[in-house]
Amino acid sequence: MNFENDVFRVRELEDADASSLFNLYSGSSTLAKFVSTAPHDSAETTLSKIKQWRKLYLESNPKVRVYGVAESQDDFVFGLVVFVFNKQHAEIHFGISDKFSNRGISTELCRVGLVYLRSLGINEVRTSPFVEHVASVRVLEKSGFTNHGTLNNHARFPTLGNGLFNCADMRISL
């Protein structure tokens, strides 16, 4: 997936992105609050994940694809967009640095991701944010998703605590 506008671009990750991604996104416990993985403890951990994700670019039918969200002018990575491919539908997950929030970037990122999935022939997209993460639900609704209820005890959010948490069952048909 490749996309670019005046503010951000979506592109394949490179090893050189580890430092900016860690400093602006993956190393933040605040931003990891609503993510199903713990924050990274170092740029080296982020680099290790980037190396894993880069291998998926070579697969013709990957189960997961992870792309960087980079600032258009200086090209530093400040977020991620993740696509998970299932038999009946795809999932979209995304997050950006709080330094770039409240600018409409997440909504545009979601919409661009949906265009990408549609170009792959995907007909249904689902995602399940933490039910109390109002900002995510709002972005998804602005992008055309509808809420199909609550998925009880659905996902782990390590920074929120142990156990499974309720999630919104957000869906869109393309």
**How far does the chain reach from its first CA to its final CA, in angstroms?**
18
Query: In this model, does residue 33 exceed pLDDT 90?
Result: no
Collect all residues with Cβ–Cβ distance below 8 Å to 77 and sequence separation of at least 6: 13, 17, 20, 21, 24, 25, 68, 69, 70
Q: How confident is the model at residue 86 (pLDDT cuts 50, 70, 90)?
A: very high
Q: At what angle do helices 134-142 and 105-119 cross, to 10 degrees?
A: 50
Asked if residues 82 and 116 have their Cβ atoms less than 8 Å apart, the reply is no
Query: For 18-30, what is the mean pLDDT?
Result: 94
- 35 pLDDT exceeds 90? no
* pLDDT for the residue 46: 97
Residues 29-56 have a mean pLDDT of 92
CATH class of 3-123: alpha beta
Domain positions in the chain: 3-123
The average pLDDT across 66-81 equals: 97
Arithmetic mean of pLDDT over the chain: 95
Residue 60 main-chain phi, psi, to 5 deg: -75, -30
Question: What average pLDDT does range 104-121 have in this prediction?
Answer: 96
Find out whether 168 and 137 touch, Cβ atoms under 8 Å: yes
pTM for the full model?
0.94
For 32-66, b where at least 16 C-beta lie within 10 A, e where not — what string? bebbeeebbeebebbbebbeebeeeeeeeeeeebb
> Using 50, 70 and 90 to split pLDDT, how confident is the model at 51?
very high
Residue type, 8: F
Tens digits of residue pLDDT in 128-168: 999 999 999 999 999 999 999 999 999 999 888 999 999 99
Give the pLDDT mean for 65-83.
97
* 93 confidence band (pLDDT: 50, 70, 90): very high
Q: Which amino acid is at 165?
A: F
Q: Is 55 helix (H, G, I), strand (E, B) or coil?
A: helix
